Amino acid sequence: MENQQVVYITGGSKGIGNGVAQYLLNKGFKVAISSRNLKAAEEAVSKFTGSLSDRMAVQSDVRNPEDEIKAVNAILKKWGRLDVLIANAGVGAFAPIESLSYEDWNSVIDTNVTGVFNSVKASLDAIRKSKGYIITIASLAGINFSPESTAYNASKFAVVGFTQALMLDLRQQDVKVTTIMPGSVASHFNNHIPSEKDAWKIQPEDLGEIIFNLLKLNPRVLPSKIEVRPAKPPLKA
């Protein structure tokens, strides 16, 4: 894959997707980001640095297959190709099973699992054409379970399983597939407000660096599942 490759990041209005977008823009990629809200996506895009013609905002709710198809079509219309999908959009809901609502369960599963499926389905033809790359952002919650995390754990175990099976489906077609499983990242996840207290956490741009390095690897090599954790988390009291 040569530059200028085109990247589509779902959920780039803030957090991990936003930091990864800026990192890849700095490295010369063309980057489209999405949000459920067009204004939020446009505002985020306006704050990126670098060439204006290399960035794009799209409105899409990953829970809606039609939205994802429209988003990919808009990217293809603007840049004529799509090389990399980063299926990042995700939400959390944490509560004991007794109080976990049906609404929260559906929101987490629809966004984190069906949303990834919708993004992959919408991008597949273009990514196969470019012999590109699909990356999903799972979580260490895709291997480690925690209390009050039934919905989130279920969703991230599913993303890991989905992505590994997808990798087996696509690697003979020269499409690479990787799932990244971060631990604590400084983001807005679960209504968190990032601050200097998050300095020990993985920063969104750190994941940008990992993704950039994945995209540079020799075509014969595929790290299909990557666990990423803070190097030195604070010791629990």
Q: What binding mask, one character per residue, do residues 132-171 give for ligand NAP by CB under 6 A, x or -? A: -----x-x--------------------------------
Question: Helices 115-130 and 150-170: crossing angle, nearest 10°?
Answer: 20
- Part of the chain binding ligand NAP (CB under 6 A), chosen from 50-58, 77-85, 98-106, 185-193: 185-193
How far apart, in whole angstroms, are the C-alpha atoms of residue 122 and residue 5? 18
- Part of the chain binding ligand NAP (CB under 6 A), chosen from 60-68, 94-102, 168-176, 210-218: 60-68
Two tokens at 25? 């823009």
Q: Examine residue 10 and tell whether it contacts ligand NAP (CB under 6 A).
A: yes
Q: Least distance to ligand NAP from the beta carbon of 176, Å?
A: 20
Q: Examine residue 15 and tell whether it contacts ligand NAP (CB under 6 A).
A: yes
Catalytic center residues = 152
Q: How many residues bind ligand NAP (CB under 6 A)?
A: 31
- Interface residue with ligand NAP, options 21, 72, 89, 170 (CB under 6 A): 89
The three-state secondary structure class of 31 is: strand
Give me the residues paired with residue 55 across strands.
31
Q: Is the peptide bond before 4 cis (omega within 30 degrees of 0)?
A: yes
- Answer yes or no: are the C-beta atoms of 63 and 114 closer than 8 Å: yes
- Answer yes or no: are the C-beta atoms of 70 and 60 closer than 8 Å: yes
- Part of the chain binding ligand NAP (CB under 6 A), chosen from 5-13, 71-79, 143-151, 229-237: 5-13
Measured from the CB atom, the residue of 5 and 34 that comes closer to ligand NAP is: 34
Q: Where are the alpha helices (DSSP H) in the chain?
A: 15-26, 38-47, 65-79, 102-109, 115-130, 150-170, 204-216
Q: Which residues bind ligand NAP (CB under 6 A)?
A: 10-17, 34-37, 40, 60-63, 88-91, 111, 115, 137, 139, 182, 184-185, 187-189
